């Protein structure tokens, strides 16, 4: 998996490096043309925001193996029953909304093997819209734990986010809390858990990817 030890996610470098270089050039030129100072200042602010957006902090969780951790930083915007289209059964769905100010690295919710991956092109509705679940661009993993429990995690692109990145592939063995992808500039993560899962979060709760426990598997 990528980004295991970099303070800035590598996917942010194509945005960060040009912005930083242009900021330096304009700052130097502003010494001769003072009118460029406001533009240089704006670019410095943009550069700092890009670095902030693609930040890649370390996360740890000491909970037992049955604990399912949040795959994303953000706020719980949906919690309840839902029919998962790939497994074809009713499960407990937890949706986490990521604003542009959240860390956007996504983490594996539970140690498991990837049974299936899927990608669906689509629209870019606001991810807080109920239609986004079925109409937006999305990428997902169907996971199976060593105990045979199956769950699904889905990256949903949003109004601003137009680029989903997923490192995991079919057959991969993933470790809980490890980085497996990201979505650029906003979006949502949906987690479908077995209905018997003991849920430990509530609507509106802020989550920290790789640390906040969403619930405990049966």
Q: What is the CA radius of gyration of the chain?
A: 19
Largest CA distance in the chain: 68
β pairing state of 179-183 and 105-107: antiparallel
Output the CA torsion sign for 180, 197, 138, 128: negative
Of 194, 201, 95, the residue nearest 143 (C-alpha) = 194
> Would residue 139 show up in a list of annotated catalytic residues for this protein?
no
SS percent in the chain: helix, strand, coil, step 5: 20, 35, 45
CA separation for the pair 19, 13 (Å, rounded): 10
Q: Considering the candidates 62, 95, 187, 195, report the single residue annotated as catalytic.
A: 187
- Residue carrying the six token digits 């990608």: 119
Tell me the catalytic residues: 187
């Amino acid at each position: 998996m990528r980004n295991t030890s970099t303070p800035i996610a590598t996917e942010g470098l194509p945005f960060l490096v040009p912005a930083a270089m242009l900021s330096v050039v304009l700052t130097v030129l502003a010494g001769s043309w003072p009118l460029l100072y406001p533009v240089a200042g704006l670019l410095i602010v943009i550069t700092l925001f890009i670095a902030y957006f693609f930040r890649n902090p370390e996360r740890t969780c000491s909970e037992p193996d049955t604990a399912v951790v949040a795959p994303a930083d953000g706020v719980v915007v949906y919690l309840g029953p839902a029919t998962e289209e790939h497994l074809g059964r009713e499960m407990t769905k937890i949706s986490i909304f990521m604003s542009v100010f959240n860390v956007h690295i996504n983490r594996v919710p539970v140690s498991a093997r990837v049974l299936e991956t899927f990608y669906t092109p689509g629209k870019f509705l606001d991810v807080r819209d109920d239609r986004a679940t079925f109409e937006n661009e999305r990428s997902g993993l169907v996971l199976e734990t060593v105990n045979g429990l199956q769950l699904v995690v889905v990256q949903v692109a949003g109004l601003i986010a137009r680029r989903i990145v997923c490192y995991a592939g079919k057959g991969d063995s993933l470790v809980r809390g490890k980085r497996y992808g990201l979505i650029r500039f906003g979006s949502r993560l949906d987690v479908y858990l077995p209905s018997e899962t003991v849920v430990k979060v509530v609507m509106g709760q802020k989550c920290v990817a790789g640390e906040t426990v969403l619930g405990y598997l049966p």
